[in-house]
Amino acid sequence: MSGRLVVVSNRIADPRKPAAGGLAVAVGEALNRTGGLWFGWSGNIVEGGTPGEGALRVEQAGKVELATVDLSREDHDAFYLGYSNNVLWPVFHYRLDLARFDAGYFPGYRRANRLFARELAKLLQPDDVVWVHDYHLMPLAHELRQLGCRQRMGFFLHIPLPPPQILAAIPEHEWLMRTLFAYDLAGFQSEADMTHFSRYVESEARARVLDAHHFTLDGRTLRAQAFPIGIDVDEFEELAEAREARQVAGVMRQQYATRQLLIGIDRLDYSKGIPHRVRAFRELLAQHEDMRNLATLIQIASPSREDLNAYADIRAELDQLCGAINGDYGDFDWMPVRYIRRVVARKRVPGLYRAARVGLVTPLRDGMNLVAKEFVVAQEYNDPGVLVLSRFAGAAEQLQEALLVNPYDAHGTAETIYRALQMPLGERRERHQALLGRIKEHDVHWWRQTFLDALDETAQSATRARAA
């Protein structure tokens, strides 16, 4: 790659410290290798601060420069809690019913993106390659271009992109989607998202479609493509082999020696379909008496964004559901559901995956879903568990050897779980091997490299176009 790498994401992390997976690992590792700049929000909220303003801080973390800005309370509430998490997050997860369109958040979203652009522009060098992440910062390149920045810029959307008819419910959809043309490259998680994008630009934005991956609008050509994100397989395998994970797996296996364990690990978010999953599990117990006193679901729901009403609702629903199942089906020596609303230490997570016979990853909608990939990597080759995966997770496009389910269909999901719990060893091994191969091939390093290579290629084709 030519030029310094500049990564921009709402939250940033110190790349010298062990990261909690996902984006932080991918980005931290890339930056640690080549050096570069990581820019984002500091995490500080300034009470009574002036909207649109925030102090810039730059510090050196090894080879990497970390640059952060503070947000005023007003900007934080409108940009982060408001437009990002109460409009874009629900709509992009197909939940128009939860979106707060008329709460007046949009000016705050623009203001914060402008603030980020203004502060970042001060730090940019002519040859920099800028990689912007996620829905909080969609218009960032547009704002940077307005300030005269001409660097190469790429954008990656970590969450799904819904079909045009759903996107169009956002009052500002046209402006928002047109700002993507300020980038040279836009990346999505899945082919389904990519299809939604090209349908949108054709029908709503009226851009010219050059080919399946190139679109022109107002004189700018954008390349768009699916880059399914992966996990750091080596790091996760190491974590799974380490003492702490082995200990957890050992204890769980001992405790549940006569039971069949199912595991779900999710952030407590309505997109993850946790209540639907628990209802499917109840259906399993209702329909199959042989599963009573046997199948045990451990559901970890790590709290997130709890200040929003939708999260309070899902919390109450889960408390009620789990209590009712345990009351109806539990016995002196067996509780069907163990529901744990807490963050589990990352070192212990692979141990839980490994002890389970079935991994339940059944989001109603998910950009990718890394838990599905982690579950597969943590399994023992000789006696692997079975992945039950929602067809509505981006990961389903790659992980076809999982047992795919429609999470809205409690009965169908219950029957698939039943099948997973009875799957013979030979079939479990075959499926696991196929899944593992694909996850290894498309790991997080592959993802980062293919995205940055594609971004680089946009520079070369632009040079060729100018010369022609």
Q: Smallest distance from the beta carbon of 271 to ligand GDG, in angstroms?
A: 7
Tell me if 294 contacts ligand GDG by CB under 6 A. Answer: no
Contact with ligand GDG (CB under 6 A) among 65, 366, 401, 443: 366
Comparing C-alpha atoms, which of 367, 351, 224, 229 is closest to residue 300? 351
Contact with ligand GDG (CB under 6 A) among 86, 362, 369, 413: 369
Nearer to ligand GDG, 143 or 443 (CB): 443
Comparing C-alpha atoms, which of 366, 359, 415 is closest to residue 391? 366
Contact with ligand GDG (CB under 6 A) among 28, 187, 367, 407: 367
**Amino acid, res. 287:** Q
Tell me if 265 contacts ligand GDG by CB under 6 A. Answer: yes
Tell me if 401 contacts ligand GDG by CB under 6 A. Answer: no
**453 conformational bin, left if phi > 0, alpha if psi -120 to 50, beta if neither:** alpha
Distance between CA 72 and CA 208 in Å, rounded?
Answer: 40
In three-state secondary structure terms, 129 is: strand
Q: Smallest distance from the beta carbon of 367 to ligand GDG, in angstroms?
A: 3
- Burial label, 116 (beta-carbon count in 10 A; 0-12, 13-18, 19+): buried
Contact with ligand GDG (CB under 6 A) among 110, 145, 158, 442: 158
Stretch that binds ligand GDG, among 52-60, 119-127, 287-295, 345-353 (CB under 6 A): 345-353
Nearer to ligand GDG, 362 or 413 (CB): 362
Contact with ligand GDG (CB under 6 A) among 1, 123, 217, 343: 343
Q: Smallest distance from the beta carbon of 344 to ligand GDG, in angstroms?
A: 4
Q: Smallest distance from the beta carbon of 235 to ligand GDG, in angstroms?
A: 11
Stretch that binds ligand GDG, among 2-10, 40-48, 219-227, 361-369 (CB under 6 A): 361-369
Is residue 158 flagged as an active site residue? Answer: yes
What does the block give as tokens for 102? Answer: 């008329």
Contact with ligand GDG (CB under 6 A) among 21, 36, 264, 385: 21
Stretch that binds ligand GDG, among 9-17, 52-60, 366-374, 407-415 (CB under 6 A): 366-374
Contact 249, 356 (CB under 8 A): no
Q: Which are the contacts of 389, defined by CB distance < 8 A and separation ≥ 6?
A: 361, 362, 369, 372, 395, 396, 399, 402, 403, 404, 405
**Amino acid, res. 113:** N
Choose, from 133, 366, 432, 443, the residue flagged as catalytic: 366
Tell me if 359 contacts ligand GDG by CB under 6 A. Answer: no
Nearer to ligand GDG, 244 or 456 (CB): 244
Is residue 234 flagged as an active site residue? Answer: no
Tell me if 449 contacts ligand GDG by CB under 6 A. Answer: no
Comparing C-alpha atoms, which of 135, 146, 8, 2 is closest to residue 65? 8
Q: Smallest distance from the beta carbon of 114 to ligand GDG, in angstroms?
A: 25
With tokens 């993802």, the residue in question is 447
Site for ligand GDG in 29-88 (CB under 6 A): none
What does the block give as tokens for 412? Answer: 């169908």
In three-state secondary structure terms, 458 is: helix
The residues with which 129 forms a beta bridge, in sequence order, are: 5, 152
Backbone angles phi, psi at 44, to 5 degrees: -90, 135
Tell me if 192 contacts ligand GDG by CB under 6 A. Answer: no
Backbone angles phi, psi at 334, to 5 degrees: -155, 125
Tell me if 370 contacts ligand GDG by CB under 6 A. Answer: yes
Contacts with ligand GDG by CB under 6 A: the residue count is 22
Sign, CA dihedral 182-4-123-54, equals: positive
Sign, CA dihedral 382-346-399-444, equals: negative
Window 204-233: contact mask with ligand GDG (x via CB under 6 A)? -------------------------x----
Tell me if 349 contacts ligand GDG by CB under 6 A. Answer: yes
Tell me if 22 contacts ligand GDG by CB under 6 A. Answer: yes
Nearer to ligand GDG, 30 or 370 (CB): 370
Distance between CA 186 and CA 249 in Å, rounded?
Answer: 40
Backbone angles phi, psi at 26, to 5 degrees: -60, -50
Q: Smallest distance from the beta carbon of 59 to ligand GDG, in angstroms?
A: 26
Contact 428, 384 (CB under 8 A): yes
Tell me if 302 contacts ligand GDG by CB under 6 A. Answer: yes
Distance between CA 9 and CA 17 in Å, rounded?
Answer: 17
Distance between CA 413 and CA 98 in Å, rounded?
Answer: 25
Nearer to ligand GDG, 149 or 356 (CB): 356
CA distances to 89, 173, 329 from 337, rounded to whole Å, are 29, 42, 10
Choose, from 142, 158, 432, 442, the residue flagged as catalytic: 158
Active site residues: 158, 366
Binding site for ligand GDG (CB under 6 A): 20-22, 158-159, 229, 265, 267, 300, 302, 343-346, 349, 366-371, 374
